[in-house]
């Protein structure tokens, strides 16, 4: 666990850089996290996925996997990889300030 400052606010991140306290996240932090992941600037399509992740987490307690994102977010899997080349579910979860998706047990 480490404390870091994003968009002027101190937040807790886990060992892999995911938010340990998702309630510390605010939308104005997303572009700064995205930039660290090599996504700069965020497009409307990035926002669509990030907001979808956030909503899914708030409803289900976990972020969706890539496969579920492809079925439900309105963005097909191929495009998800174009938007988040380093892995859509993980990177979008990071930007959305939610824990690592636990779809994989």
Name the residues that contact other proteins, by CB under 8 A: 1, 14-15, 62, 65-68, 71-72, 77-78, 80-81, 85, 87, 100, 102-105
Closest CB 60 distance from other proteins, rounded Å: 8
Closest CB 81 distance from other proteins, rounded Å: 4
CB 22 within 8 A of CB 98: yes
Which helix (H) or strand (E) element contains residue 9?
A: strand 9-13
Closest CB 80 distance from other proteins, rounded Å: 8
Residues 6+ apart with CB under 8 A from 48: 73, 74, 75
Return the number of the residue (26 or 85) whose C-beta is nearest other proteins: 85
Annotated active-site residue 96? The verdict is: no
What three-state secondary structure class fits 19? Answer: strand
Residues 6+ apart with CB under 8 A from 55: none
Return the number of the residue (26 or 60) whose C-beta is nearest other proteins: 60
């Amino acid at each position: 666990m480490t404390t870091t400052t994003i968009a002027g606010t101190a937040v807790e991140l886990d060992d892999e850089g995911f938010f340990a306290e998702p309630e510390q996240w605010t939308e104005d932090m997303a572009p700064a996290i995205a930039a660290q992941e090599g996504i700069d600037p965020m497009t409307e399509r990035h926002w669509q996925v990030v907001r979808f992740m956030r909503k899914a987490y708030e409803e289900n307690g976990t972020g969706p996997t890539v496969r579920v994102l492809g079925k439900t977010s309105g963005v097909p899997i191929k495009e998800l990889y174009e938007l988040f080349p380093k892995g859509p579910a993980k990177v979008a979860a990071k930007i959305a300030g939610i824990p690592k998706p636990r779809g994989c047990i």
